[in-house]
Structure 1
Amino acid sequence: MPTLQETLIENREMVQPNHANNLETAHGGNVMLWMDEIGAMAAMRFSGETCVTAGVDQMDFRRPILVGDVAFISAYVYETGRTTSKVRIRTYREDLRTGEREKTTESVFTFVAIDENRKPTPVPELTIESEEGERLYQEALEYESHTE
């Protein structure tokens, strides 16, 4: 059975002018796309199946990401259903020169595992085997409770 920490996926996207709105900050749709892609990767790593987006809980855009900054995206599975995985996804503005990060966006996406016939298929049970995994799990539950 996969552990929570084994589902963790992290990636970076350099915010270029073609990703920006008229304020020269990352367009929210691009940030959401990046989050969706990384979240799907975490769900696929967990389930061992192709996963598609079933739902997006509240999207919290807290701060902009400027052109030239890096969007650092982190995602992990923290809860499962019969065929679904809930993935906590956070995006940070990262300055590569200093390593400084500032949270900009946060959400929970739900993904459905599908088989080769594109039908929902069961996912394994998620296990939490470390203090770090338990910390991430509790943080996700806390975030989720604030969005309800």
Structure 2
Amino acid sequence: MTGLMETFIQNRTMVQPHHANNLQTAHGGNVMKWMDEVGAMSAARFSGNPCVTARINRVDFERPIRVGDVALIEAYVYEAGRTSSHVRLRAYREDLAEDEREKTTESYFVYVAVDDDLEPTSVPELTVETADGERLYEAAVEGNGDGE
């Protein structure tokens, strides 16, 4: 069994001009790529195997991340199936000079663990053993609009 908090991962990327659209904000495709990579790391940490993206629920882009800001991506597994990991993902923009952070994007991805032959393989049972883990679990279940 693996605890929810063991799957929590954060990663930061400085948004550069080559990440941006013509409005000088991070291109949505780059934000999704960063989210997918961090989500796959969280799912792999949970399963102990490489994981592939099986589904992306709606992606809510709430506000932009400007060139020069830091994109902070947070991910954690909040549910597990037989071979799948359900991961909550949130992106934030950080202004390091002003010490500000605000949420910009949120989504829920599903990853499938695969073996050396790239065939689906089982994942462990997910446990929630801490108050922080319970808080994250509740937030994920409440925030996921399709009931997963």
- The letter for the 2-side match of 1:72 is L
**Structure 1's 146 and 122: CA in aligned 2 closer, same or farther, altered over 3 A?**
closer
Taking the aligned partners of 2:132 and 2:86, their CA distance within structure 1 comes to: 18
> 1:114 offset after TM fit, Å?
0.2
Q: Indicate whether 1:48 and 2:21 are aligned.
A: no
Aligned to 1:127: 127
Q: Any unmatched runs of 5+ in structure 2?
A: none
Whether contact under 8 Å (2:141, 2:147) holds in the other structure is no
> 1:100 offset after TM fit, Å?
1.2
Indicate the percent of aligned positions where both proteins have the same amino acid: 65
CA-atom RMSD in angstroms = 1.3
Whether contact under 8 Å (1:78, 1:86) holds in the other structure is yes
> 1:146 offset after TM fit, Å?
7.0
Aligned to 1:141: 141
Aligned to 2:64: 64
Taking the aligned partners of 1:128 and 1:147, their CA distance within structure 2 comes to: 19
**Structure 1's 147 and 100: CA in aligned 2 closer, same or farther, altered over 3 A?**
farther
- The letter for the 2-side match of 1:83 is T
> 1:99 offset after TM fit, Å?
2.5
Taking the aligned partners of 2:110 and 2:146, their CA distance within structure 1 comes to: 17
Aligned to 2:73: 73
**Structure 1's 99 and 138: CA in aligned 2 closer, same or farther, altered over 3 A?**
same
> 1:95 offset after TM fit, Å?
1.0
- TM-score for both structures, normalised by structure 1: 0.97
SS at match of 2:44: helix
> 1:147 offset after TM fit, Å?
8.0
- The letter for the 2-side match of 1:143 is G
Q: Any unmatched runs of 5+ in structure 1?
A: none
Which of structure 1's runs of 4+ aligned residues deviate more than 2 A?
A: 145-148
Taking the aligned partners of 1:35 and 1:11, their CA distance within structure 2 comes to: 9
Whether contact under 8 Å (1:58, 1:147) holds in the other structure is no
Taking the aligned partners of 1:146 and 1:118, their CA distance within structure 2 comes to: 28
Taking the aligned partners of 1:45 and 1:56, their CA distance within structure 2 comes to: 19
- TM-score for both structures, normalised by structure 2: 0.97
**Structure 1's 147 and 81: CA in aligned 2 closer, same or farther, altered over 3 A?**
closer
> 1:97 offset after TM fit, Å?
2.2
> 1:96 offset after TM fit, Å?
1.4
Q: Deviations over 1:85-136 (max 9, x none)?
A: 0000000000112331100000000000000010000000000001110000
Whether contact under 8 Å (2:13, 2:71) holds in the other structure is yes
Aligned to 1:95: 95
- The letter for the 2-side match of 1:128 is V
